Amino acid sequence: MTADESNPKIKVYGTRWCYDTRVSLAFLSKNHIRYQWIDIDKDEDGREFVERVNHGFRSVPTIVFPDGDILVEPTNEQLKEKLNLP
């Protein structure tokens, strides 16, 4: 996985055991997209944020983009479209 903590472009909230999170992280890494990883199993503030934006649910991955857009459990196609990838 490629995580860039020093200059994050995207914040990815998720868990290591979640299949959908692993798929999204793999997609971002494959496409050399920088992101900040927040493991909501270990980060209480991250968990609270995910629950707040998902109406009490721990829906992951929850991905926050620099423009403020949030995608929850996105498909690779949705990520591709949001990131304007060919």
| Domain edges within the chain | 11-82
pLDDT band (50, 70, 90) for residue 15: very high
pLDDT of residue 7: 54
8 A C-beta contact, residue 14 and residue 60: yes
Domain 11-82 has CATH 3.40.30.10: yes
Say yes or no to pLDDT of 1 above 60: no
pLDDT of residue 9: 85
pLDDT tens digits, 29-84: 999 999 999 999 999 999 999 999 999 999 999 999 999 999 999 999 999 999 99
